[in-house]
Amino acid sequence: MAITIDAPLDMHLHLRDKEMLKRVAPLSSDSFSGAIIMPNLVPPITTKEELISYKNRIKEAIGEDNFTPYMTLFFKPTYTKEFLESIKDELTAIKLYPAGITTNSEGGVSGFNVEELRPTLEAMSELEIPLCIHGETNGFVMDREAQFVSIYEMLATNFPKLTIIMEHITTKESVEALDRFENLYATITLHHLMITLDDVAGGMLQPHLFCKPIAKRPEDRDALRRVALSGHPKVMFGSDSAPHPQDAKESCGCAAGVFTAPIALQVLTQLFMEHSTPENLQAFISDNAQKIYKNITVPRKSVVLEEKPFTVPDKYGTVVPMYAGEKLKYSIREIK
């Protein structure tokens, strides 16, 4: 049976920069129509000039592929309405990181004082610029996301016209928050739909499955699957595909991130087929995102997948993908 996905979108993607950008960007631009590009480079993207320059480097890396990089800024509470108006045509969203909570987030937000954040967040609300958030506290690692739900609630209540995206949610508490606030939405990754903490550290440590936020309990994965597989209108696919060189993953101080870009469509198709919900795959991987991000223009592209074995390469350059060396049930047959 063939499955066709129209205009697949990845609403949370790390492309890095320099040689890594050149290596991994085509692995997304080949099969996806577009992606929300994370701004946590070193230094992070905080100005119009940096954003445009990065966008141009991405376009150079993808060549002739029919793909739109949806650009983001690294959140600063000092952004003015005038500045945001000047960059709005180049900007799709702003990404907020709690300080020091994940890769290259040292310049993020501390304290979450509403009044300090208010000028920028009110300007974003007025200009209809979505706010994407890596939602974790600095508490015990398994509780960090659940503890952050109260901050989501505070922001959703104080800024009811602001579109707030809970990025890469991993817990049943985050899923439950979705329906309590009209302006809360979420991205869900491939790996959090597939694994639990037991897969990461239940036996021999699997460094290529280590990520932040860390994979959680089976009941959390079940909650994610329930909303994704049902086509819930407030969730969308965001891979959080995060490439690191093999020596940075297989080392003391293992870098956080799972590289899934080259296998995302194949594995998602397999998951939705195995749960007898192929009719909801299109909503999860494209339609919902287009409704949530109201102002994006999506390039036309259709990807046809078929039930034919695909062996995942051991490496893409220096990067080891999820399921390296394993055989998947579905392959990409055609991109048109």
Q: Given 30, 220, 240, 287, which residue is catalytic? A: 240
SS3 of residue 291 by DSSP: helix
DSSP code string of 196-239: -HHHHHSSS--GGG--SSPP--HHHHHHHHHHHHTT-TTEEE--
Upstream peptide bond of 213 is cis (omega within 30 degrees of 0): yes
Active site residue 198: no
Q: How far apart are CA 141 and CA 267, in angstroms?
A: 27
For residue 278, give the amino acid letter.
P
Give bridge partners of residue 73 from the DSSP assignment. 94
Q: Would you state the structure tokens that stand for residue 177, as one six-digit string?
A: 């928050």
Q: What is the dihedral of CA 164, 168, 169, 175, to 10 degrees?
A: 60
The beta strand positions in the chain, using DSSP E, are 2-6, 9-13, 34-37, 68-70, 72-74, 93-96, 131-133, 164-166, 184-188, 235-237, 302-311, 327-335
Q: Give the number of other Cβ atoms within 10 Å of residue 239's Cβ.
A: 26
Catalytic residues: 240
